[in-house]
C-alpha cells in the first residue's frame, strides 16, 4: 500500500509541474504580445510627432512676410514655404506626405518630391484672422495636430 501512495504523490507532482510549465509559457506569450502592441503604439505616436515637428520646423524657416501660403495644384492643397529664392512644397498625395524644393516661381507637378512619411492623411489650414497654421496628421485613425503662429502668409 505504501507503494501506491508514493506513485500517486509522484503523479500529482508531475501534473502540478506540467500545469505550472504550461501557465508559465502562456504568460510569456501573452506578455510578448502586449509588449509588441506597446512598441507599435509608441512607434506610431512617435511618427506622428516627428511629421508635425518636421513640417513645423520647415515653416519656421520662412524669413519674411508673404512667404507661407497654400495653393492648389491638380485639386491637391500644397503648402508653399518660400525662403532665399526657393520654395519648399509640402503636400499629401497617394498616402504619402511629400516635400519638393524648387526655384521660386518655377512650374512643378505633384510627381516631384521626396517622401517625408507614409501617413493616412495630412491636412493644413491657415487662419488669416489669427495668423495660425493648423497641421493635422492621421496615422491609424489617431489624429494629432498642432497650431503654430506663423505671422506670414499670402
pLDDT for the residue numbered 22: 97
Closest CA to 127 of 99, 149, 94, 103: 149
Low-confidence ranges of the chain (pLDDT < 70): 1-5, 63-66, 145, 149-154
Residue 40 belongs to what domain range?
A: 1-154
Model pTM?
0.71
pLDDT for the residue numbered 1: 46
pLDDT for the residue numbered 33: 95
Q: Are strands 86-93 and 68-73 parallel, antiparallel or unpaired?
A: unpaired
Number of domains within the chain? 1
Amino acid at each position: 500500500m505504501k507503494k501506491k501512495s508514493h506513485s500517486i504523490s509522484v503523479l500529482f507532482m508531475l501534473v502540478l509541474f506540467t500545469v505550472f510549465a504550461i501557465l508559465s509559457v502562456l504568460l510569456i506569450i501573452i506578455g510578448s504580445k502586449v509588449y509588441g502592441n506597446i512598441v507599435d503604439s509608441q512607434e506610431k505616436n512617435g511618427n506622428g510627432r516627428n511629421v508635425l515637428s518636421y513640417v513645423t520646423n520647415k515653416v519656421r524657416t520662412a524669413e519674411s512676410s508673404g512667404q507661407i501660403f497654400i495653393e492648389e495644384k491638380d485639386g491637391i492643397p500644397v503648402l508653399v514655404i518660400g525662403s532665399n529664392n526657393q520654395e519648399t512644397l509640402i503636400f499629401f498625395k497617394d498616402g504619402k506626405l511629400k516635400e519638393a524644393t524648387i526655384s521660386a516661381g518655377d512650374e512643378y507637378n505633384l510627381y516631384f518630391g521626396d517622401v517625408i512619411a507614409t501617413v493616412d492623411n495630412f491636412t493644413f489650414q491657415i487662419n488669416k484672422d489669427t495668423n495660425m497654421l493648423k497641421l493635422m496628421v492621421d496615422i491609424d485613425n489617431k489624429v494629432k495636430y498642432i497650431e503654430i503662429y506663423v505671422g506670414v502668409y499670402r
